[in-house]
Amino acid sequence: MKGATIKRLAFLLLLGLLASSQTAVLASVRDAGKTPLDGRWQWTWTKAELNGAPGPHFPGSYFAEFRDGRHYSNYPKPGSMLTLKGTFTVHGVVVTLHFRPGATSVEPGRTYMMRFSIYRDRLTWSKIPGHAGLDLLPITPWTRVH
């Protein structure tokens, strides 16, 4: 009996180890697609900050969300809650953005590239010389919304 109990305990221990390693593998695969930009961000543009900026613009608070390779943004214009939608990829500190048709102030299908920096949940943007970028992003830092 004693030998059978030890074998059973060893088997259960082995099963437990296999299950925990499987859970760790699944968690790392699930998190592998995460980027530093993933999450929800908020920023506010004042009328003075937008003065002289290209294109149509509206002062106010904005939100953007990055997740699963997709980005979503609101545009504080009456009747427009979620107007900027598209996809993104991150390579190091460079993000490549594409926008879907119907987006305002951008050219759908065009590739936009921006450099970003995140420090203490504050996101700042800068344009990359020689690449299409978004002129309004560097105006003010974004804050991560928890």
Residues 15 and 45 in one domain: no
**Mind listing the pLDDT tens digit of every residue in the chain (146 residues)?**
566 666 555 444 444 444 444 433 333 334 446 999 999 999 998 888 888 777 667 788 888 999 999 998 875 555 555 567 899 999 999 999 999 887 767 888 899 999 999 999 999 999 999 999 998 899 999 999 97
Pair of tokens at residue 27: 């968690």
Total-model pTM? 0.71
User: pLDDT tens across 116-143, in order?
Assistant: 999 999 999 999 999 999 988 999 999 9
Decide: helix, strand or coil at residue 4: helix
Residues 45 and 89 in one domain: yes
Residues 87 and 114 in one domain: yes
Residues 102 and 118 in one domain: yes
Task: Report how far residue 46's alpha carbon sits from residue 56's, in angstroms, rounded to the nearest whole number.
Answer: 14
Residues 14 and 44 in one domain: no
Range of the domain at 99: 39-145
List, in order, residues 6 or more apart from 43 with CB less than 8 Å away.
61, 62, 140, 141, 142, 143
